């Protein structure tokens, strides 16, 4: 069972002890991401994440890596649209080292001018790499299209212009305003002594002098239904079909996971079996939900030869209409429940997975349920719950289309209109 604590400076801690393991995972979650940026400073959250690995007043970048490698531990970070996380996994006897390194990175990073210049080049190359990935580009284009001018549509990496314009003062000021005691949550899962953990966290994190500042609420975005294409001279086209989904705090998440497994989220799903196994028209096709605090998306992705577009779209829309009119079978519901429970139970064997669940739940203000409650929730899902999911997602005025590849505007427009008219 998890416990919550408050450090001396107001930083929240959520921890779950797992006595039968020898590892411990710790994550420092910060309530900041690209949704809190503007077009001018877009990418600054991700830039700061990079800079915290470039050296502190005690350690060089090499020292940070060597300190963790020397104890066989893991150290990494990620930036998303709504949060940033710095995390480590170590043997329990080295938890104090992980805590010390993470706190040093967060509170003592140098932001050396030369390192900033070098890291700009690294991030610009990362943007180039992203541009060379048509799948990523299709998703990014879909997000920009659906969210229109809302900050949720900004790319996490930023743009060439925004990254080039950032300076040391921008980074330090943004970090000071956003890395404050109200926005930082520390999640811990694994083998630890509770009193010692809180003592060490208070010593390394709880003494930092931080602002107390709750973020201004971001307006809920409005779904923008349209189409977008990016012409690239590549062999395949990459297609993303986006529908409005469910936000992270809604009770519909478990039925949504069940539905996703059945429709396109697994190798036994309807879309995979129809498009790939029966007709052999695409190598990769899948669906997945995306969750945000006030919004959600449900996306169908497929990569295919351009000549197969006219064959695949009718198959996808046929399976979609079948769901809308006839829903799913009791056997599919039963099988998907077992699949979801199995995935959940296997995840409980990973301290990293549990730490991530704790951190995300606290960031998004969600109730944390124990394993018995989760299994009960899944078992209690009914056919009506799945029908509600299907009826909310598949609406003609809440669909958008993004295609990247050797394609033109008219083909994209016609594909979009075909999808809308087929729902």
The verdict on whether 125 is a catalytic residue reads no
C-alpha span between 94 and 96 (Å, rounded): 5
* 160 φψ region: left (φ > 0), alpha (ψ -120 to 50), beta (else): alpha
**Which residues, listed in sequence order, are joined to residue 324 by a DSSP beta bridge?**
none
Question: Would you call 113 helix, strand, or coil by DSSP?
Answer: helix
Asked if residue 229 lies in contact with residue 408, where contact means CB atoms within 8 angstroms, the answer is yes
- Report angle CA 307, 311, 315 to the nearest 5 degrees: 150
Q: How far apart are CA 65 and CA 63, in angstroms?
A: 5
CA–CA distance, 340 with 386 (Å, rounded to integer): 14
- Active-site position among 37, 39, 40, 49: 49
Which residue intervals of 264-380 are DSSP H helices? 270-271, 309-326, 330-347, 351-363, 371-379
Q: Which residues pair with 20 in a beta bridge?
A: none
CA distance 386 to 333: 9
Q: How far is CA 299 from CA 242, 271, 382, in A?
A: 4, 13, 23
> Which of 2, 58, 52, 13 lies closest to 200 in space, CA to CA?
13
DSSP codes of every residue in 140-161: HHHHHHHHTTSGGGS-TT--HH
Query: Residue 234: phi, psi to the nearest 5?
Result: -130, 165
Cα(167)–Cα(164) distance, rounded to whole angstroms?
A: 8
φ/ψ of 383, rounded to 5, equals -65, -35
Q: How many CB atoms lie within 10 A of CB 158?
A: 26
Residues identified as active-site: 49
């Amino acid at each position: 069972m998890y416990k919550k604590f408050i450090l001396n400076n107001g930083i929240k801690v959520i921890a779950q002890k797992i006595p039968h393991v020898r590892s411990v995972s710790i994550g420092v979650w910060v309530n900041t991401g690209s949704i809190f940026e503007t077009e001018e400073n877009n990418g600054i959250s991700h830039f700061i994440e990079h800079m915290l690995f470039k050296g502190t007043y005690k350690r060089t970048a090499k020292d940070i890596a060597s300190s963790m490698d020397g104890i066989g531990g893991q150290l990494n970070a990620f930036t998303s649209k709504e949060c940033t996380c710095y995390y480590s996994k170590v043997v329990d006897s080295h938890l104090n080292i992980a805590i010390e390194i993470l706190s040093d990175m967060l509170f003592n990073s140098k932001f050396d001018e030369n390192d900033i210049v070098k890291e700009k080049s690294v991030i610009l190359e990362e943007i180039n790499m992203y541009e060379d990935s048509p799948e990523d580009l299709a998703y990014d284009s879909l997000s920009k299209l659906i969210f229109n001018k809302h900050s949720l549509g900004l790319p996490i990496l930023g743009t060439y212009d925004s990254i080039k314009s950032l300076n040391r003062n921008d980074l330090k000021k943004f970090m000071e305003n956003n890395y404050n005691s109200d926005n930082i949550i520390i999640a811990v899962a694994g083998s630890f002594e509770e009193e010692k953990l809180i003592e060490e966290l208070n010593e390394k994190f709880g003494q930092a002098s931080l602002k107390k500042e709750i973020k201004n609420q971001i307006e809920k975005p409005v779904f923008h239904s349209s189409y977008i294409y990016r012409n690239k001279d590549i062999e395949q086209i990459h297609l993303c079909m986006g529908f409005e989904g469910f936000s992270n705090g809604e009770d519909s998440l478990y039925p949504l996971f069940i539905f996703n497994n059945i429709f396109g989220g697994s190798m036994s799903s309807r879309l995979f079996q129809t498009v790939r196994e029966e007709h052999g028209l695409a190598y990769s096709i899948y669906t997945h939900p995306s969750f945000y605090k006030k919004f959600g998306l449900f996306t169908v992705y497929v990569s295919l030869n351009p000549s197969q577009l006219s064959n695949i779209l009718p198959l996808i829309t046929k399976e979609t209409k079948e769901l809308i009119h006839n829903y799913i079978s009791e056997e599919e519901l039963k099988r998907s429940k077992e699949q979801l429970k199995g995935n959940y139970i296997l995840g409980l064997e990973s301290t990293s997975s549990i730490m991530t669940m704790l951190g995300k739940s606290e960031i998004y203000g969600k109730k944390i349920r124990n394993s018995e409650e989760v299994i009960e929730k899944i078992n209690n899902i009914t056919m009506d719950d799945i029908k509600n999911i299907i009826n909310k997602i598949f609406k003609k005025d809440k669909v958008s289309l993004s295609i990247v590849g050797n394609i033109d505007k008219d083909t994209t427009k016609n594909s979009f209109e075909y999808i809308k008219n087929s729902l």
